[in-house]
Amino acid sequence: MKNSCKRNEDGTLPRVICPQCRLGVTRIQDLSNQDMKKVRQLALIDMTALCDLLELDVKRHKTCKRKIPESALFGVPLATLLENDQKVKPTATTPLILQALLWFLEKRGVDSEGILR
């Protein structure tokens, strides 16, 4: 049997510390975008198995994927906006559209009554 764990030079196993929240579960912030796609697929498998166990009929609808262009601003996750903006300006820490909106509100929106309602 092949051992998949890498051992230290002295033959001992490395000490691995996994950060845990107080409940001992993985937080959603710890997952990458790739992991989130896998979670969606695993949730579908789990839900299908549960419905089979409970003998529930489930109608499966074909999901339609819509192509979102890279230049889209609306309907795009903020993380995606930030990633696209960092290609243009690597030092960006907030999406450029939010910076532009805040600049506009500071310059012209402060004097307009009811604009932030």
- The dihedral sign for the CA sequence 100, 105, 108, 112: positive
Query: Helix axis angle, 96-104 relative to 78-88, nearest 10°?
Result: 90
- Is residue 94 within 8 Å of 80, Cβ to Cβ? no
Report which DSSP code applies to 29. G
> Structural domain of residue 93, as residue ranges?
78-109
Mean pLDDT for the chain overall: 76
pLDDT(93) > 80: yes
> Quick check: is 31 in a domain?
no
List, for residues 20-49, the tens digit of each pLDDT value: 556 666 667 777 888 888 888 888 888 888
- Residue 115 vs residues 4, 10, 107: alpha-carbon distances, Å: 60, 67, 13
- Is residue 116 within 8 Å of 109, Cβ to Cβ? yes
- Cα Rg of the chain (Å, integer): 23
Decide which of 25 and 86 is more confident.
86
Mean pLDDT on 50-54: 82
> Quick check: is 102 in a domain?
yes
Decide which of 108 and 100 is more confident.
100
pLDDT(75) > 70: yes
> Quick check: is 90 in a domain?
yes
pTM, entire model: 0.38
pLDDT above 90 covers a percentage of the chain that reads: 0
User: How many domains are contained in the chain?
Assistant: 1
